[in-house]
Chains A and B, each alone.
Chain A
Amino acid sequence: MSNEEIRTQIENCLSETAARFKGFGARYEYDGKRRRFLVSYSYAESLGACDDFWCAIAEMEDGMQKRFGDNAPLFCEDERLFRLSDNAIAVTAPGSEDFVCRQEPSTEFTLGYEIQTSFVSDNTYFLAA
């Protein structure tokens, strides 16, 4: 399948989601390094506690995965897992909030056991421009 077909499907899915859930918006672009589309979405605080919203997001992402396999776009919330450039295309519905900045990495995830090695870094880092 072509990138154009994937792009069209991304736009359709994001537009449908934005029309269905007020306060949802997303940006996407093609990433040459990963050779896939990257989609970062954002949502109003009220949607965060809405199970239907998360089920719809899961359904959208699974649908893309099923249709495009290894060429499926990669998703994350608020650039949590990757950065988009200023050229990324925005898809929003009227009344959506502006996109927020990338979240700080969470330090709450611990495994319950110590790793007995020295670390190259303390896992803090600066994002590439």
Chain B
Amino acid sequence: MPAPSLATSIEGREKSVASYVDPATLMRIKNLQLRAKVVVEGFYNGLHRSPFHGFSAEFSEYRPYIQGDDLRYLDWRLYARSDRFYLKRFEDETNRRCYLIVDASLSMGYSSIGYTKSDYANTLAATLAYYLTLQRDSVGLLTFDDGVVDYVAARYRPGHLRHLLACLERPLSGTGTDLEAPLSRVATLVKKRGLIVVLSDLLAPIDTLRKNLGYLRARGHELLLLRVLDPAEVAFPFQESAIVRDLETGREMYVDAADVRKDYARRFAEHEGQIRSVCADFGIDFARMLTDQPLDRALYDLLVAQLRRGRTIHRAGGQWNKKS
């Protein structure tokens, strides 16, 4: 299936759908699993209307039978029609692994619209986990602040989702955001290729980001970087001067908002530009998730990533860096 048409369809769908669940409403649901379910089912509803059902079909291709092949996979119907022996090949989807790397540092506790970035990121992670579980994929979780907080290996079995959600519901702690530790940890732990989804505000120096992402990419992992940001962090809409306190370090700074807004915007854009540049270099999907935007978008991003992964394997046989 041609990729451009898929991507275009998703984008078009994103724009056309206005009936998504309002995140503020969604966040009022206390139960994380219920929240995920709401998002995923809404997404499915949308899918039913989409032309892409059966996208995750198991069937991949036919190949001619050679002596010694297991006769179980012989397609008898095709033989009946064409009198040739063909084997049916299937995508190895059941053993797909996905790791969710969730930022649990204190900066994720910032909120300007009633719920925090952490709430949003946890809901997002739960949604992805629920969705993947429904697809019978193995889902793992790693939360971090200035170190690794929780690590749950990727599995598919009853109760695993509940375990993941419990980990996500732990309160925030930590005084910094250090991406290096979780990424290098995942790089060492996850041997088989998989999908790695990073949910973080990425409010940290990105010196080591390039190196660690490069490691993961070199191991054949597919990476999805979801940057969760509060709208105020992007726009810096404050007017008055105030003492600004850093949520992580507690450092205080007198800031005249009107004066520094321009400078803030410039430096913020510069930082994000660097992140985007890294992601572009390694073929990593990057998406900025503002907390006032619907969560379903992340699912689309996930699907795009899966799609690209499948295509990459299929076409390039592991040459992940070939641009699609």
A and B bound?
A: no
Which residues from chain B sit less than 8 Å from chain A, CB to CB?
A: none
